[in-house]
Amino acid sequence: MDRPDAAGSAAGQGESEPRTRIRLGIAYDGAGFSGWTRQPGLRTVQGVLEEALWTLFRRHEPVPALTVAGRTDAGVHALGQVAHLDLTGDQTAALLRPRRARSPAGETDAATALRRRMTGILGTADSDVVITDAAPAEPGFDARFSALWRRYEYRIADAVSPRNPLTRGSVVWHPGVLEVGAMDAAAATLLGLHDFAAYCKPREGATTIRTLQEFSWRRDADGVLVATVRADAFCHSMVRALVGACVAVGEGRLGRDDLALVRDAGVRTSAFRVMPAKGLVLMEVGYPHGAELAARAERTRARRVL
Give catalytic status of residue 2 as yes or no: no
What digits encode the pLDDT tens for the residues 106-164?
Answer: 557 899 999 999 999 998 778 999 999 999 999 999 999 999 999 999 999 999 998 99
Give the pLDDT of residue 7: 43
**Domains in the chain: ranges and CATH:** 20-136 (3.30.70.580), 149-291 (3.30.70.660)
Give the pLDDT of residue 101: 47
Give the pLDDT of residue 36: 97
Give the pLDDT of residue 4: 43
CA atoms of 204 and 187, how far apart (whole Å): 27
- Return mean pLDDT, the chain: 91
* Buried-exposed string 179-191: b where 16+ CB fall within 10 A, e elsewhere: ebebbbbbbebbb
CA atoms of 252 and 193, how far apart (whole Å): 27
Please list the ranges in the chain whose pLDDT falls under 50.
1-14, 101-104
Choice among 73, 142, 184, 258 that is catalytic: 73
Give the pLDDT of residue 2: 38
